[in-house]
Amino acid sequence: MKVFRGLPNAQARAPCALTIGNFDGVHIGHQALLARVRKAATELGIEAAVMTFEPHPREFFAQRGGDLSKAPQRIANLRDKLQSLEDAGIDRVIVEHFSAQFAALSPQEFTQQVLVDGLHVKWLMVGDDFCYGARRAGDVAMLQEAGREHGFHVETLPTVMNGSTRISSSAVRLALAAGDFTLAQQLLGHPYAISGHVIHGQKLGRTLGFPTLNLRVAHRPALSGIFIVQVHGLAPGPLPAVASLGVRPTVDDSGRVLLEVHLFDFAQSCYGKLVRVEFLEKLRDEEKYDDLPTLTAAIERDSNQARAYFAQRRSALTATDRI
């Protein structure tokens, strides 16, 4: 899969079947849309393409307005989003920098500069509530009219439902915030995980007797707290662990979000390695403690709960194998 930061240069512009969106989490509603794009691209003999944005448009406007609380919490980082798009069979992803200049494009300018001249779109799919251009002035009807004028076909995809629930990134965020990883998996089509390269931390966990591998989280995540997790990428199978995702209020007042993972009975160096942390169950919310001994005792309780969880799961699997 080819990834472009902004519109491709003239040599890389080839006709494409395109869809546009933030695709946070690439849930099963997104996957249905992407499958239709892939099918259309194959039928037309052109590339399947996605245009997405960084930062998220709502994040951009929240920053401009000085109220970051209005920015959406992220389900997935860019790496995980790109991997999901590649898994869906997409050939080309345009990561468009969402800026004041881009936000100011009129619907007509967006059509001409981005869709026609920039991407050579021949087929386009959007959600039935799609809006585009400055102040969201363009809608699906306007886009279909532009397609007739410029020679590209426009289709819409109705809302995908999970029973009576509309499948959306907002629904996934609510499930993650509640620690409902069963529902999150139903909406995503796979277990929830965060990937990243292991970075050096303050080494405080090692001092407390609970060494951690640390992953930087660039954006405000859709969940926080203490979790039972398993880690992929360091051994042939997943490794059991307990993790903290948050701002570490007892030891850090910077507000920086970090994912800290304490692996059980694993002592190899992990720095620089790419790992995937799969979330299994939430233990509790993040708390601020008065001192390090109190924090250490809480970590020990969390570790014991997580070890008990994995021991119970192993027993259940063993019992199933005996049947």
pLDDT band at 177 (very low <50, low <70, confident <90, very high): very high
Q: What local confidence, expressed as pLDDT, does residue 263 receive?
A: 95
Using a pLDDT cut of 90, give the percent of the chain over it: 68
pLDDT at 204 over 70: no
Q: Tokens at residue 207, please?
A: 């001092």
Using a pLDDT cut of 70, give the percent of the chain over it: 94
Provide the mean pLDDT of the chain.
90
Q: Where are the alpha helices (DSSP H) in 161-216?
A: 169-177, 181-188, 204-208
Task: Look at the alpha carbons of 280, 283, 289, 295 in this order and tell me if their dihedral is positive or negative.
Answer: negative
pLDDT at 289 over 90: no
Using DSSP's 3-state secondary structure scheme, residue 258 falls into: strand
pLDDT at 155 over 80: yes
CB-based contacts of 66, cutoff 8 Å, min separation 6: none
For the segment 141-154, the average pLDDT, to the nearest whole number, is 95
pLDDT at 300 over 70: yes
pLDDT at 209 over 70: no
